[in-house]
Amino acid sequence: MGRRLLLPHTRRLMLFLRPMRYSASATATATAGSLRDPLHVCVVGSGPAGFYTAEKMLKGREGVRVDIIDRLPTPFGLVRSGVAPDHPETKIVVNQFSRVAANPRCSFFGNVTLGSDLSLSELRKTYDVVVLAYGAESDRSFGIPGEDLRGIHSAREFVWWYNGHPDMCNLAPDLTNTDSAVVLGQGNVALDVARILLRCTTELASTDIADYALDALRSSTIRKVYLVGRRGPVQAACTAKELREILGNYKMCLKNVNVYIKEADLATSPADKEEMRNSRIKRRVYELLSKAATVHQENNDNDRKELHFVFFRKPTKFLPSEDGSTVGAMELEKTLLKDDGATGKQVAVGTGEFEELKCG
């Protein structure tokens, strides 16, 4: 991994190839020259998209040579920095990628940054094919007031932090100035973040979570996590497997955590029922949430931590705490679902009613 990448001064005509399929999380572009043997390919990015591309190239064309470059010194991308540390079974795929890297016709070069160490034009002059598979490294902003207050972090930042990504090892989120955290979103990454915040640190100690993150979580005063979604439980973006880890009788489920779901939020409309008829995943997620709401009402324990599923709310403003620079609450607008009038999809529409949710 410490080898230096040497670029031979060969010049070849570059043409755009027909687009190929890659992971939905990656940006992929390919350029090619004469495609004469032996084909020499450069893959920029060593995450799943990059390694799957390299694997297909090595299997699909005899004699092809593949160089994988990455700005980090270590490979595997999101498998290393995006998968939750308490999901070791998901990371098993690195064994497959390691076999690809061990192929004598495949080389990995870390600490090589496209745009500073190398230019795209240099790569195109050197290789028959260049595949850009480095994914997204920026965040979407909400564009609402108060987004620059301290204590607000993107999921990418927070996940990279607890996974030990070198870009975020100094993030140092303050987990000791509040008992409440809000997670905007109800997809699998949102569940990961909630689970890491609430899981017993004794259990996390047996994972590959970053040591500094484990130390911070041991000192954490957070007792309540609110998962906020614009739409209802039928439209929750998580999968049943992820949800079972928090709600159900599952070997890795959260212990000593009470789950709160408002009964009124579980009411379904004819459009909701139609969505569930057309999607087994949606139906299963709704069933799990409905069952959890009943079970946890019967087993309420004030000594436990709390996970609140907040449906039909959209963020409209981040409110400062008394110091004026740190987030102290969220302003949320109540929503209702309406047909978008084009695709038949239900979208969240604000009602003009607002409420505040305190958090740090």
Q: What is the CATH number of the domain that holds 272?
A: 3.50.50.60
Q: Give CA–CA dist 39/264, Å, rounded.
A: 61
Same domain assignment for residues 97 and 159: no
Three-state helix/strand/coil letters over 38-105: CCEEEEECCCHHHHHHHHHHHHHCCCCEEEEECCCCCCCHHHHHCCCCCCCCHHHHHHHHHHHHCCCC
Q: Which two tokens stand for residue 360?
A: 């740090």
Can you give the residue range of the structural domain that contains 59? 40-132
56 and 162 share a domain? no
The answer to whether residue 13 is domain-embedded is no
Q: pLDDT tens digit string along 336-349?
A: 999 988 887 899 99
Structurally, how many domains does the chain consist of?
A: 2
Q: Is residue 108 part of a domain?
A: yes
| Co-location of 320 and 265 in the same domain | yes
In a shared domain, residues 87 and 224: no
pLDDT of residue 292: 87
Q: Tell me the pTM.
A: 0.85
Domain membership flag for residue 149? no
Does residue 128 share a domain with residue 182? no
Residues 306 and 354 in one domain: yes
Q: What digits encode the pLDDT tens for the residues 259-291? A: 999 999 999 999 999 999 999 999 999 999 999
Asked whether residue 285 is domain-assigned, the answer is: yes
Whether residue 217 sits in one domain with residue 161: yes
Residues 100 and 177 in one domain: no
Please work out, in degrees rounded to the nearest 5, the angle formed at the alpha carbon of residue 250 by the alpha carbons of 254 and 76. 80
Q: Could you tell me if residue 305 is inside a domain? A: yes
User: Of the candidates 99, 132, 165, which is a domain's last residue?
Assistant: 132
Let me know if residue 33 belongs to a domain: no
Provide the percentage of residues in the chain whose pLDDT is more than 90: 78
